Amino acid sequence: MDFEYQEDYIRNSRGVQLFTCRWMPCTSPKALVFLCHGYGMECSGFMKGCGTRLVNAGYGVIGIDYEGHGKSGGARCYIKKFDNLINDCYDFFKSVAAQEEYRNKSRFLYGESMGGAVALLLHKKDPTFWNGAILVAPMCKISEKVKPHRVVINILTKVEELIPKWKIVPSKDVIESAFKDPIKREEIRSNKLIYQDKPRLKTALEMLRTSMSLEETLNEVTLPFFVLHGEADAVTDPEISRALYEQASSIDKTLKLYPGMWHGLTSGEPDDNVEIVFADIITWLDKHTGDPSPKLANGGDNPGVQEYALRKSSSTMKKGRGQQQTRPYGSYLCGWKGRTHQHSAM
């Protein structure tokens, strides 16, 4: 399908220049898909494959690099307030949806890893606006096994205003454990727009607080959603997606776990696996496109719970994980695994 790729810059309410991009079909799009990228990532390069696949399926795809990320201005990967990211995305996405040619189009959020948290918070900010969400290995809960002790959080909180931008959080190479295909892994590593340094103190704390808040309010999620997770994910725990699926109040919700797949479902797996994942995503979008009225948990006309390829047996989980390399200890923040924070963690 023929499409047009566009880039532009806007300024947020704090005067910071933000990079935006969009992939638009030459004909009227089926619906709009708004991209929420992960921590340390960006839209124009890293999410190009996602944009082109969805636009070739007939969707208009809109992305924005968060402040401090990708081609946007601001201190690299410094998140002073997580609400700033949400408000910037909200203002920009709403402005696009309000354009005359798109007013009657369905609106979907698409979030990967930390972008999953951004998507869920955008939904909570205006529950009646979105028609659904695609959540790929989302960051939305902290495993009880690795949640930091309250004393540790209190100590870090006391010094965050003194050294907010210090890159002092211990880190490991998450790219190595997130992307299975070695060629794609090196391509991602060579992307200079992707942040690959240690997390800043305040950034880590903001992500921790966001995860804890989401964990406590998963029942407030009401929009239709499709959550996808690799069973061999060593960055975010598949059980986090299961918790979202089980606790969300949404009537129309789907969880799919992929045996043997890692964290980078859409960009780090072998081509055959990526094709499978995007086929599932596009199928879900096609089924939910057409009616511009959002379907909420209390709407009364939802098609009902959808659940497929959901594996609950421990034997299946072990089989998938057995295909993964030795798991590095990850982070205790943001639903990431382990006890050491990883950088460029999507």
Sheet of 132-136: strand order equals 3-11, 17-25, 60-64, 31-36, 106-112, 132-136, 225-230, 253-258
- Tokens representing residue 100 in the block: 């005359």
Compute CA distances 338 → 10, 235, 250, 314, 330, whole Å: 38, 9, 30, 20, 4
User: Rounded CA gap, 196 and 71, in Å?
Assistant: 15
CB atoms within 10 A of CB 128: 11
User: Rounded CA gap, 108 and 119, in Å?
Assistant: 9
CA 237 distance to own-chain centroid: 14
DSSP string, 53-103: HHHHTT-EEEEEPPTTSTTS-SSTT--S-HHHHHHHHHHHHHHHHTSGGGT
Catalytic residue among 65, 88, 181, 233: 233
- Size of the chain in residues: 346
Which residue type occupies 288?
Answer: H
SS3 of residue 239 by DSSP: helix
Question: Does residue 233 have an active-site annotation?
Answer: yes
Catalytic residue among 37, 69, 263, 341: 263
Question: Does residue 263 have an active-site annotation?
Answer: yes
User: Rounded CA gap, 311 and 316, in Å?
Assistant: 7
Tell me which residue has tokens 């909420």: 296
Catalytic residue among 37, 65, 72, 113: 113
CB atoms within 10 A of CB 124: 16
CB 229 within 8 Å of CB 137: yes
Q: Rg for the chain (alpha carbons), in Å?
A: 19
Compute CA distances 213 → 136, 226, 248, 284, whole Å: 19, 21, 14, 28
Query: Catalytic positions, please?
Result: 113, 233, 263
